[in-house]
Amino acid sequence: MSNTYNIAVIPGDGTGPEVVAEGIKALEAVSRKCGVHFRFKEFGLGGDQYLNHGILLPGEIMEELGTMDAVFLGAIGHPDVRPGILETEILLKLRFNLDLYINLRPVVLFPGVETPLKNKGPEDIDFAVIRENTEGLYVGSGGFLKKGMPDEVAVQESINTRKGVERCIRYAFEYCRKRDKGSHLTLCAKTNVLVFESDLWYRVFKEVHKDYPDISTDYQNVDALCMWMIKNPEQFDVIVTSNLFGDIITDIGAVIQGGLGIAAGANLNPEGTAMFEPIGGSAPKYEGLNKINPMAAISAAQMMLEYLGEKEAATLLLAAIKRVLKDDLKSLEAGKMGYGTKEVGDLVAGYVAGL
Ligand code: IPM
Ligand code: MN
């Protein structure tokens, strides 16, 4: 019996639809090869739908997404929509309402890909960031006092629950155990200043560690960790951290692994559904030009195969991705790849068929 999966596709804004199309092309190539099947259902969420119809993320769509095996997202963000609307009402709402409490972002430098770090290669850059994805400074708790007046006050609160912190840290230990690197987990926080929030993270981290004596750990303040990610990235295996710190450090992660053209992430509810996305954003200036790099979206599709437990398919697609990166692309930057968006997708699909 072959497996069939229901995949929700949200192409979204800007170059989202173009890169998602190549991700689907890769999945279809894998499907022909491995007997894993997909039923794709597209949802037209994003800036255009908001501007034309005032629709953001209706409740019935949210419910339907929750019943799918996975969600494949392109990008959310439109130049004509004020920052914050689409992000909070679509992307963050998806993360919160589907309780996708893990944001898993691998930072891996593949052979053939250039890193801006001097004297570092693929053997040095191979770790994963596990970012808490439903709490912290992202919950939208706070408000203004006397908005617009000279003595205006703005409060933005970071909410951290023991349950939320513990399930994230526990997932990180479990994930660390499954990786075949060094089984080392780093907690990233700011205990010297955030004496409530980081204190909770630190105590829970110590407590949960007792259940994982086979895993070594260390603690780093977020500012120092940013420095070490650049200076000695080889020390990292898995990093676990809160929502905003994770957001920030994974941009450093993306750039040291070759840039936004390759960085992908998974928003996971280990007991429910999951959403996969290229980290890059909607890149409106490249929209419709067949110039954007689809490798991040194809990598997101590859993570989806891993998550679905389709090992053979995931391994096959990973091999094709690596081959294109090593043998074909001149650069990962939009317009400089030596190929167009569609042609990069064709290369991946071609290798999948031939492997
Ligand atoms: C990311 C993005 C989002 C975030 C934005 C678009 C809301 O930067 O996925 O990293 O801050 O989480
Ligand atoms: Mn970000």
- The DSSP result for 34-63, as a single string, is HSEEEEEEE---SHHHHHHH--S--HHHHH
Closest residue by Cα to atom 12, ligand 1, is: 247
* Same domain, residue pair 130 and 70: no
> Measured from the CA of 250, which atom of ligand 1 is nearest?
10
The backbone region for 158, taken as left when phi is positive above 0, alpha when psi lies in -120 to 50, beta otherwise, is beta
* Strand 264-268, strand 238-241: pairing: unpaired
| CA atoms 106, 111, 114, 115: torsion sign | positive
* Same domain, residue pair 21 and 55: yes
Helix, strand, or coil (residue 253): helix
Q: What is the pLDDT of residue 176?
A: 97
Task: Select from 30, 36, 40, 35 the least CA-distant residue to 8.
Answer: 40
* Same domain, residue pair 62 and 130: no
Among 213, 230, 257, give the residue marking a domain's end.
257
- Pocket around ligand 1: residues whose beta carbon is below 6 Å from it? 87, 91, 247
* Same domain, residue pair 139 and 243: yes
Structurally, how many domains does the chain consist of? 2
* Same domain, residue pair 150 and 225: yes
* Same domain, residue pair 65 and 14: yes
236 half-sphere exposure, CB direction, 13 A CA radius: 28
Q: What is the pLDDT of residue 181?
A: 77
* Same domain, residue pair 94 and 119: no
* Same domain, residue pair 285 and 319: yes
CATH number at residue 130: 3.40.718.10
In a domain, 5, yes or no: yes
pLDDT at residue 111 is higher than 50: yes
In a domain, 203, yes or no: yes
Q: What is the pLDDT of residue 180?
A: 77
> Measured from the CA of 76, which atom of ligand 1 is nearest?
6
DSSP H helices in 240-294: 243-256
| Residue 276: pLDDT band with limits 50, 70, 90 | very high
* Same domain, residue pair 60 and 134: no
Mutate to test the pocket of ligand 1, among 45, 90, 138, 247 (most ligand atoms within 8 A of CB): 247
> Measured from the CA of 95, which atom of ligand 1 is nearest?
12
The residue-averaged pLDDT of 332-338 equals: 96
pLDDT digits (tens, 9 = 90+) for 311-320: 999 999 999 9
pLDDT more than 70, % of the chain: 99
| Residue 2: pLDDT band with limits 50, 70, 90 | low
In a domain, 325, yes or no: yes
Helix, strand, or coil (residue 132): strand
In a domain, 1, yes or no: yes
CA–CA distance, 116 with 260 (Å, rounded to integer): 13
Say what the pTM is. 0.96
Mutate to test the pocket of ligand 1, among 91, 129, 279 (most ligand atoms within 8 A of CB): 91
Among 205, 234, 257, give the residue marking a domain's end.
257
pLDDT digits (tens, 9 = 90+) for 161-209: 999 999 999 999 999 999 977 799 999 999 999 999 999 999 999 999 9
Range of the domain at 192: 115-257
From the CA of 280, how far away is ligand 1's center (Å)? 9
Stated length of the chain: 355
Contacts of 155 (CB under 8 A, 6+ apart): 142, 143, 144, 145
* Same domain, residue pair 273 and 247: no
Contacts of 274 (CB under 8 A, 6+ apart): 70, 71, 100, 266, 267, 268, 304, 307
In a domain, 108, yes or no: no
* Same domain, residue pair 139 and 231: yes
pLDDT digits (tens, 9 = 90+) for 214-255: 999 999 999 999 999 999 999 999 999 999 999 999 999 999
- Give the chain's end-to-end CA distance (angstroms, integer): 23
Helix, strand, or coil (residue 13): coil
- The tokens for 314 are 């995931």
* Same domain, residue pair 136 and 241: yes
In a domain, 106, yes or no: no
In a domain, 109, yes or no: no
